[in-house]
Amino acid sequence: MRKLTSQRVTIRGIRWDITVTDDVYNDNGESCFGICDYDNNKLLVRSDLPENVKWETLLHEILHAVTKPYPSDMSDEFTINCISSEIFSILAQLGVFGKGCNPYEAKNK
């Protein structure tokens, strides 16, 4: 499986930094898999996760960045979890992440 590394992407015409890091915390100070930091255009993914979970987490955070301008019900956690999980599964089946990616291991974020 291709390793997720820190890099830059453009989402909705804005440059975002993808950072794979040791510590990722939500607004309540709780450790989590990933964060979409709208104020600083950063997508953070925890480095100690299995590679397939990192990729699904990144997809989840990208969807937050994409849906931010839309009505709030499009970017709520339940909706983003459902959409990201299914898109990740489809992309994994198509071989986008390389061999050894089991989409069913990347659950329960």
Nearest 5°: CA angle at 6, between 10 and 11?
Answer: 15
According to the model, what pLDDT value does residue 108 have? 43
Q: Which residues, 6+ apart, have CB-to-CB distance to 87 below 8 Å?
A: 59, 63
What is the DSSP secondary structure assignment for residue 59, as one 8-state letter? Answer: H
CB-CB contact of 100 with 1 (8 Å): yes
| Burial (0-12, 13-18, 19+ Cβ within 10 Å), 27 | exposed
According to the model, what pLDDT value does residue 109 have? 43
According to the model, what pLDDT value does residue 66 have? 92
pLDDT along the chain (109 residues), means of 10: 92 95 94 95 97 94 90 81 89 81 53
Structural domains of the chain in order of their starting residue, each with its CATH number: 7-105 (1.10.10)
